[in-house]
Amino acid sequence: MLNFLPSKIIGAIAGFLLFVNVVFWVSTLFVFSIPKILLPWPPLLRIINNILHWIGENWIACNSGWMRLTQKTQWDVQGLEGLNYNGWYLVVSNHQSWVDILVMQHLLNRRIPLLKFFIKRELIKVPFMGFAWWALDYPFLYRHSSEYLQKHPEQKGKDYEATRKACEKFGIIPTSVMNFLEGTRFTKSKHEKQKSEYQYLLRPKSGGLALALNVLGKKFNSLLDITIVYPDGIPGFGDFLCGRVKRITVRMRTLEIPKELLQGNYEEDPAFRDAMHKWVQNLWREKDKQIQALMEKAQ
């Protein structure tokens, strides 16, 4: 570990290693994605996807490598026991920072199948990363606002269709579908604007979760519920690179998904939609209390 160096130098080293890691593994993904583009034959796609997932796991392992080298973070983690690398997982978590993604990838890599995050469609234009997310079959969503849909009704339903197609791809090989139910990172201003009833969380959105269950409900072994806490304050990505994140607390629990929620029409069945809302809201109430307890313990 490089604890003896000034934080800005640590950040420069971490940023350089992160950049090199991205360039190397995305270039490797590109090479193995060419057959996927030119020869979309299902048996061949299965083999290629396994190779691409292997590349993705090695990419994450290298991220963990530079994190161990440059970071002096104290980790307090519970709940990793009993996870199944060959199972299907629906994963939910609170969302506070871009650091959340590195945290989950670092802890879960090769313990469960490669995490697939729901990503805003505009991010496909991000250099290198946009292609990598496409090659690894990350689901890209439109996420149009209700105001936008009122002005452009022809776009209605595209979110639903994009999510459905993405989830159908996940049925080929074991996959972990990750959904930040809040839909955006937590900030005090968003919390106040939303008038959220939770102390540490924004209001959860259950539509994407319901659709994933509708398409792949029979395959999901369980729900992996993750709670991430930064006892010393929510960090920016630059703070993490510079080694300023002293402590990270993570709690995971595996929950059985109620059978009545595994199949249902969220868009057209009010009773099913209400049941899904209540289940998610209860999950969020428990998470909010857990975060409060962890924060108090860390003081």
Tokens of 60: 């994450």
Above 90 in pLDDT, residue 250?
A: yes
Residue 79 forms part of a structural domain: yes
Whole-number average pLDDT of the chain: 88
**Looking at the predicted structure, is the pLDDT value of residue 165 above 80?**
no
Residue 51 lies in a domain: no
Name the residue with higher pLDDT: 256 or 17: 17
Say yes or no to pLDDT of 188 above 90: yes
Bigger pLDDT: 6 or 172?
Answer: 6
Name the band, by pLDDT with cuts 50, 70 and 90, for residue 220. confident
**Dihedral sign for Cα atoms in the order 97, 98, 99, 100:** positive
Write out pLDDT tens, residues 54-81: 999 999 999 999 999 999 899 999 999 9
- What CATH code is carried by the domain that includes residue 278? 3.40.1130
- Give the count of domains, the chain: 1
Residue 148, in any domain of the structure? yes
45 lies in some domain: no
Question: Does 42 fall in a domain?
Answer: no
Whether residue 260 is contained in a domain is answered as yes
**160 has pLDDT over 70:** no
Does residue 176 lie in a domain region?
yes
**In the predicted structure, residue 144 carries a pLDDT above the cut 80:** no
- Closest to 46 measured CA to CA, from 56, 31, 35: 35
Task: Report the pLDDT value the prediction gives residue 211, as an integer from 0 to 100.
Answer: 77
What does the pLDDT read at residue 61?
A: 98
**Does a structural domain hold residue 34?**
no
* pLDDT at position 213: 82
Q: What is the dihedral of CA 107, 16, 94, 291, to 10 degrees?
A: 80
Residue 299 CB partners (closer than 8 Å, separation 6+): 231
pLDDT band at 289 (very low <50, low <70, confident <90, very high): very high
User: If phi over 0 gives left and psi between -120 and 50 gives alpha, with beta otherwise, what is residue 19?
Assistant: alpha
Q: Can you give the pTM of this predicted structure?
A: 0.90
Domain hosting residue 94, numbered range: 73-298
